[in-house]
Amino acid sequence: MIYREPVRHEFGLISVPTLLVIGQEDRTTLGRGLVSEDVLKTLGQYPRLGREAARDIPGARLVELNGVGHIPHLEAPDKFHNALLDFLNRKN
């Protein structure tokens, strides 16, 4: 989907419990080599995008992991697993 169209406008339609685990060092940018350095500085701002997505998804839970990049489950498996298990064990 990310290659064909933005999907952010559909986040409000999500109706299942949602956990967002966002590495605060994630600056992943598709097409990185196709944009200028000035434009690149405005892309891949996942700390901000994660907070915005959490606001857009009804009842979403956001876990922000400092010092972690794009792959939290590999970069910080203990923190990721703790967040996931806590989320799964919550009474909704």
CATH ID of 8-89, from 2.60.40.10, 3.40.190.10, 3.40.50.1820, 3.40.50.620: 3.40.50.1820
How far apart (Å, rounded) are the C-alpha atoms in residues 43 and 22?
A: 15
Establish how many alpha carbons lie within 13 A of residue 5's alpha carbon, considering only the half-sphere containing its beta carbon.
3
| Span 19-49, pLDDT tens digits | 999 999 988 887 788 888 888 888 888 899 9
pTM for the model stands at: 0.83
| Span 41-76, pLDDT tens digits | 888 888 999 999 999 999 999 999 999 999 999 999
